[in-house]
Structures are given as C-alpha cells and as structure tokens.
C-alpha cells in the first residue's frame, strides 16, 4: 500500500509528500482531502503518516476516499515515501487571464437555449465542427469557441479517466491567511473526528434560495443512488404510439427544438412544425446553416439560423422568416435569452426591424450575454454590470463569495439569469489540480444558488452545457436544474458521460460505448436518438433509423403506474 507523509512545518503550513512529489496546504484537513481525492480517483488505498514534530499518527484512506484506521497488511516490502518536508515556499502559479467560456463553447451541441443538432452518417454516429478561437483574452476575442449548432450533431462521447496531476514544488498553492482550524488541532483528534472534518455536511435545502454546498465525497443525489435499467419505452415515461410522424431525406441533417424541426439536405432547407410535423417553410439555399437556436426577439419567440453573413428568424405564427444582414466576420453567442452579435468592438442584437446596436461595456470588461434587454458584462473579479440596452439604466451585481480568502479563478458562463464561476485560493488556477468551488450565482442579486466543492481536474477546463428547453445544464459530471441553479446529480464516481440535455432528459454514454437516457435517478440503456422534448415536456421528438421523425406523447399518471 502506498504511503504518504503529512508534516506540519514551523511556518504553519502543511506539506504532503506522495510518490516523491511534495505540495503545500493550509492545514491538515485540506491535505487529507487531497489524498482522499487521489485515492478515489486512482482506486489506490493509502497509508498516511501525520507528523506534527512531536508525535506521529497513522491513518488509512480506502479506495473510496474514506478515512479510517490503517488496514493491517504485511508492510515489510513497502517503501516509505520521501519524507522531506523542507520544500521551498515559492509563490502559487499565476492565475489564468482568459475570458468567460460561455455556454456556446462546447463540442456537445450546446448552443443557447438548447438547440440540438443531429445528422445521419454511414457510421450511424453524429458530429459537428466547432469554431475555436482561444487566442488572447481581450474583448476582441469574445465570445470564444462558439460552436456551430447547425445541421449536424455531436459524436458519441468517449469517457476518459483523468489522471491525478502530480504537484510541482514550483507551483504550490498559497493562501493569504491561515484558516481558523489549524492542522495541529486535527492531529490530536480521533480518527473519526478527522473523517468528519474531511467529509463536510450537506446544507439542507429548505427553499429555492438556500445555498447548497457539497463535498467530493458526498452528493445531493449520489451516483450510488443512480440505478441503471433497461426499458421497453422508446423514451422513458413516454407512450410508444406517436401522435405524428414525418419522413425526412435519408442524408438530411436534423435539428429540433420547441420552435420547430430544421431539416437541411444538399441545397434545400425546410422547417417542420414541432406540434404537428407539417411543413412551415421551404427554401433553396446557397450554403448550409452554421448556427441555429431558439431565441426571443423583441419579446417574440423565433427559430433563428445563420448562413454566412446572413441570418434568418422564423417567428412563431409566421410562414416566412425575416432576413438580417450580419456585419463582416460577425460572431454570435446565445448564452443569454437573446442573441449577442460581436464584430470587432461593436456589439448588436436582433430586433424586430433589423439589427440593434448594443452599448459597449467599459474597457477591461467582457460582454457575456443579453437577458430581458439587459447586457451583462464584468471584469475578471466582478462585480457584474447589467445595463439596459434600451433605457440605458445600469445596475451593479456583487457576487457573493463562497468562502473567506477565495477569489474567482475562471468565468465559465453567464446568461439565463445565472453566472457560473470557479473560485479558489491564492495560487489556484484552472489546471493546478487543487480543490475549488464551482459556484452558481443569481444575476438578480448576486446571491449564491449552489456551490460544489470539486477539483480542477474534474471541471477546470470543462464547458457549461445549457440544454434544450432551458431546463437542465451540466458541466463535467455535475447536472443542474437551470431554473433554480441547484445541483441535481453528480455522476463523477460512475462511468457515465453526460451530453446536451433535452428538456428534463439527458442523453448519456456509460461504459464508454453504451448509449443511455438519464431521467431522474435512472439511466436507461437505449439507442433512441432523442432530438428534443417540446410542449413543456408533453412530447418527445425522436429520429428513427428509418429516417422518420416521430412525436411521442407523455404517459398519463395512470399509465406510469
């Protein structure tokens, strides 16, 4: 069994030595938490020696990251880890100075408001190319990595185990102040008390406004509660008799949402009504759409798509779309309820009569999203500024801190009433391998809606994927209710990879190759190609192997029983 050493030096910090690498922490509890994550991630039990300079204590950490007594093994052949605790106190790594990675920067088809994209190929898999612009961090480079949600779909994801990073002695985390519970006190406590410190309690959720905090070892809906089942339903909890069906060309790309079903085949584009399957609009096109999304334009819902320097918006109840001429090299993001267009330093959005100018934020601030006629922007550390693009009224939103001495180390997304950020201690960055806080804030008042204690290895470089119908969003293994901002599921301990949510149902992959649909606390094994869940969850649109789109109604309560 590998052995780790935790030692407390005269400078008050705690040093952990494992596999020849030494890293510094603020206290013994933080060091044990890191070792627990290491044991869990690598499925390797550890023997830990805690040395405070006057006495030593030994504890064991099992493969699930739980702390307990040291298992009795024949340790004659074990090698003791490097016990040097004199590593230098170099400053923490420089913080990343990138810009917010908004909802449109993913390869899973998350374009705003959950436009999903599908395309049939000979292999039976789906895929699309994403525009990637990760150069620089100034205002000109935002929005970064906007994906093309047009007529193609994400390839079936593969699950990749991320190895735990070895800490470099040149990049140790460093705090400005020590926390209130020093590691020296923990050493004198019983083994059970150490375990209680490492595994924090869940804050009860009594109302939608109650902040929610979890630790890596505990989840609100633990993966252990997630059952894997087979199903006879084409879509779980939906009837197998369709209310309508429509044949589509075999090689057509298919995109579906509440606003309609977008079909693209060679030089033909067609939009089907999501409620009836009947054709709403047909046209010949010179080039295929590279972006499609549900949006709201001057209060009116519309299906919008972009082809080159032209965009078209088909409003609900209309039979022909309105055409917009876009600026040269325009970049579109739909992280918010309305679409934000950026061309150089000029910002605009879609209006009923044409493009409308949007005020440019102050120098140093990044424009992130437009919700309800307000554009949200912020510099690196906040606060967030919300400016009404019509009246000019402005308000400042101070984001509540999830803990003392924590600061923002990365912006993930903003829009749809939420801001998603990563917070860490001095010296932490998105790839430093440290424990961090993933925080969902309300953009109404800056209050915390939920926080997740996690590590940069799990979410540091991941995107916030907002689902179709605006009900669910996920980042890495964490699934959130997009309305409340609360965590719904943590699948980090299961071999399950989430994909763009369709309403309240989340397509997923388990065991690296088995397709599934996650509904509630159940993952159903199925090859169903779920396009969208429409009509407030009452109907599910599915693309069949016979190139037919079918709409399946929700089962009644008596049927579910």
Give the model confidence (pLDDT) of 239-257 as tens digits. Answer: 999 999 999 999 999 999 9
Residue 502 DSSP one-character state: B
Average pLDDT, the chain: 75
Over range 531-551, report the average pLDDT: 97
Across the range 9-31, mean pLDDT stands at: 71
| Domain coordinates in residue numbering, the chain | 3-84+171-198, 112-151+221-560
* Tokens 């599910």, located at residue: 540
Residue 466, H or E segment: strand 465-466
Over residues 266-299, the pLDDT tens digits come to 899 999 999 999 999 999 999 999 989 999 999 9
Kindly tell me if the per-residue pLDDT of 114 is higher than 50.
no
Give per-residue pLDDT as tens, 378-405. 998 879 999 999 999 999 999 999 998 8
Measuring CA to CA, which residue among 355, 396, 352 is closest to residue 374? 396
- Comparing 195-204, 250-259, 464-473, the range with the smallest average pLDDT is 195-204
Instruction: Look at residue 432 and tell me whether its pLDDT is greater than 70.
Output: yes
Specify the pLDDT at position 381.
80
Q: Is the pTM of this model over 0.85?
A: no
Q: Band of the pLDDT at 320, cuts 50, 70, 90?
A: very high
Query: Cα separation of 265 and 549, whole Å?
Result: 15
Tokens 């090698």 — which residue? 79
Q: How confident is the model at residue 12 (pLDDT cuts 50, 70, 90)?
A: low
> For the chain, what is the total number of helices (H) and then of strands (E)?
5, 41
Strands (E), 504-547: 506-510, 514-519, 522-525, 529-534, 539-543
Contact 321, 314 (CB under 8 A): yes
| pLDDT category of residue 473 using cuts at 50, 70 and 90 | very high
Q: Cis (ω within 30 of 0) for the bond into 143?
A: yes
**Bond into 383 cis (ω within 30):** yes
pLDDT value at residue 133: 33
Q: Please say if the pLDDT value at position 498 is more than 50.
A: yes
CA distance 459 to 475: 7
Highest mean pLDDT among 58-67, 438-447, 452-461, 508-517: 438-447
Does the pLDDT at position 433 exceed 70? yes
Query: Rounded to the nearest 10 degrees, what angle do helices 191-198 and 28-42 cross at?
Result: 80
Nearest alpha carbon to residue 436 among 203, 99, 95, 18: 95
pLDDT at 50: 87
Confidence of residue 140 (pLDDT cuts 50, 70, 90): very low
Strand order in the sheet with 331-333: 331-333, 340-343, 346-350, 355-358
Q: For residue 358, is pLDDT > 50?
A: yes
Q: What's the pLDDT score for residue 11?
A: 56
pLDDT in tens, 23-76: 766 667 778 878 888 888 788 898 988 887 777 888 899 888 888 877 654 433
Q: Mean of the pLDDT values across residues 90-100?
A: 34
C-alpha Rg value of the chain to the nearest Å: 25
Give percent of the chain with pLDDT exceeding 70. 70
Query: Beta strands 522-525 and 227-230: pairing type?
Result: parallel
Residue 28 has a pLDDT of 77
Tell me how far apart the alpha carbons of residues 42 and 21 are, in angstroms, rounded to a whole number. 16
Element (H, E) at 8: strand 3-8
Mean pLDDT of the region 524-551: 97
Q: What is the pLDDT of residues 444-454, one digit of tens each?
A: 999 999 999 99
The predicted model gives 159-178 an average pLDDT of 33
Residue 181, pLDDT > 80, answer no
pLDDT score, position 4: 87
Residues recorded for the chain:
561
pLDDT at 20: 66
The CA-based diameter of the chain, rounded to the nearest angstrom, is 81
Structure confidence by residue, pLDDT tens digits, 359-374: 999 888 999 999 999 9
- pLDDT band for position 224 (50/70/90)? low
CATH number of 112-151+221-560: 2.130.10
Determine the pLDDT at residue 558. Answer: 59
**pLDDT at residue 157 is higher than 90:** no
Q: What is the mean pLDDT of residues 72-93?
A: 34
């Amino acid at each position: 069994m590998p052995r780790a050493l935790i030692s407390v030096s005269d400078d008050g910090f705690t040093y952990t030595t494992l596999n020849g690498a030494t890293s510094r922490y603020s206290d013994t509890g933080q060091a044990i938490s890191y070792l627990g994550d290491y044991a869990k991630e690598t499925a390797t039990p550890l023997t830990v020696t805690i040395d405070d300079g006057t006495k030593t204590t030994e504890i064991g950490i099992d493969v699930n990251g739980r702390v307990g007594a040291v298992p009795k093994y024949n340790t004659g052949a074990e090698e003791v880890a490097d016990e040097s605790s004199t590593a230098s106190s170099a400053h923490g790594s420089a913080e990343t100075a990138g810009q917010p990675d908004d909802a449109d920067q993913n390869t899973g088809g998350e374009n705003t408001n959950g436009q999903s994209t599908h395309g049939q190929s000979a292999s039976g898999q789906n895929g699309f190319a994403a525009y990637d612009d990760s150069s620089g961090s100034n205002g000109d480079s935002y929005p970064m990595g906007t994906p093309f949600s047009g007529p193609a779909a994400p390839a079936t994801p593969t699950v990749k185990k991320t190895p735990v990073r070895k800490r470099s002695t040149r990049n140790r985390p460093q705090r400005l102040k020590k926390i209130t519970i020093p590691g020296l006190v923990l050493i004198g406590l019983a083994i059970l008390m150490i375990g209680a410190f490492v595994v924090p309690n869940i804050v009860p959720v009594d109302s939608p406004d109650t902040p929610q905090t979890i630790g890596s070892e505990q989840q609100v809906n633990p993966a252990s509660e997630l059952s894997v089942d087979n199903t006879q339903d084409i879509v779980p909890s939906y009837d197998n008799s369709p209310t309508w069906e429509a044949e589509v060309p075999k090689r057509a790309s298919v995109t579906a949402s509440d606003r309609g079903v977008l079909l693209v085949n060679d030089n033909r584009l067609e939009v089907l009504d999501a409620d009836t399957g009947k054709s709403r609009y047909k046209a010949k096109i010179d080039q295929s759409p590279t972006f499609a999304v549900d949006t709201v334009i001057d209060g009116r819902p519309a299906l919008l798509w972009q082809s080159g320097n032209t965009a078209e918006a088909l409003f609900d109840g209309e039979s022909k779309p309105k055409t917009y001429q876009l600026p040269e090299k325009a970049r579109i993001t739909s992280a918010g309820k309305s679409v934000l267009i950026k061309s150089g330093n000029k910002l605009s959005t879609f209006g009923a009569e044409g493009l409308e100018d949007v005020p440019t934020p102050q120098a140093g601030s990044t424009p992130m999203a437009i919700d309800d006629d307000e554009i949200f922007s912020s510099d690196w550390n906040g606060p967030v500024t919300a400016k009404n693009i019509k009246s000019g009224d402005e308000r400042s939103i101070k984001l509540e801190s999830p803990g003392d001495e924590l600061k923002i180390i990365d912006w993930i997304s903003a829009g749809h009433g939420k801001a998603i950020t990563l917070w860490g201690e001095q010296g932490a960055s998105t790839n430093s391998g440290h424990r961090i806080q993933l925080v969902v804030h309300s953009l109404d008042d800056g209050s915390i809606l939920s926080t997740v204690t996690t590590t940069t290895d799990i979410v540091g470089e991941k995107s916030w994927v907002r689902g179709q119908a605006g009900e669910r969003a996920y980042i890495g293994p964490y699934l959130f209710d997009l309305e409340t901002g609360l965590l719904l599921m943590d699948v980090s301990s299961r071999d399950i990879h989430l994909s763009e949510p369709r309403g309240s149902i989340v397509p997923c992959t388990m065991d690296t190759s088995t397709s599934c649909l996650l509904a509630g606390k159940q993952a159903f094994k199925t090859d169903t190609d779920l396009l969208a869940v429409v009509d407030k969850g009452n109907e599910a649109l599915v693309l069949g192997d016979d190139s037919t789109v079918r709409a399946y109604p929700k089962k009644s309560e008596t049927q579910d029983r």
